[in-house]
Amino acid sequence: MPRAKQLTLTVEDRPGILGDIATALGQKKVNIEGVCGATTGGGGMIWLVVDKTAAAKKVLAQNGWRATEDEVLAVTLSDTPGSLGRYATKLGKAGVNITFAYTGSAGSARKQTAYFGVSDLKAALKVRP
């Protein structure tokens, strides 16, 4: 199972912030492969998986957006009913707790990449979809 680098940004909660971030990354040819966002207590959180992590961190810093980097589990699943459920069940049976999940494009038809924060990445890497 592959690992992916995830960038976590804490940002102000205002209209257009995601657009500003995505545009800045796009101008430097950084492709967003997975994204999740939420507002919490007057602020916002954005989680990104990109194709060029170092370049993205540089762009974000230049624009005053602080990003932390973590490893997440990246699993390509078929884009069919039940595929996420089957894989999440396998993780649970392996004793791995999912702390968050979101999906992004896998770059091919009928596939998606799911990104998982997990309690035990080493154990999760042994679980096949």
The pLDDT tens digits for 7-61 are 999 999 999 999 999 999 999 999 999 999 999 888 999 999 999 999 999 999 9
Question: For position 20, which CATH number holds?
Answer: 3.30.2130.10
Q: Is 88 contained in some domain? A: yes
pLDDT band (50, 70, 90) for residue 79: confident
Q: Bigger pLDDT: 106 or 17?
A: 17
Q: Is 56 contained in some domain? A: yes
Work out the angle at residue 69's Cα, subtended by the Cα atoms of residues 21 and 126, and round it to the nearest 5 degrees.
Answer: 125
Residues 66 and 13 in one domain: yes
Residues 64 and 117 in one domain: no
**How far, in whole angstroms, is CA 18 from its chain's centroid?**
14
Q: Nearest CA to 9 among 73, 84, 56, 66?
A: 66
Q: What percent of the chain has pLDDT above 90?
A: 79
Q: Is 129 contained in some domain? A: no
Q: Is 93 contained in some domain? A: yes
Its domain, for residue 17, covers: 3-70
Question: Per the structure block, which two tokens stand in for 82?
Answer: 């039940």
Q: How far apart are CA 101 and CA 55, in angstroms?
A: 24
Residue 85: which residues within 8 A CB-CB, separation 6 or more? none
Q: Is 15 contained in some domain? A: yes
Q: Is residue 1's pLDDT more than 60?
A: no
Residues 52 and 64 in one domain: yes
* Domains: count for the chain: 2
Q: Is residue 71's pLDDT more than 80?
A: yes
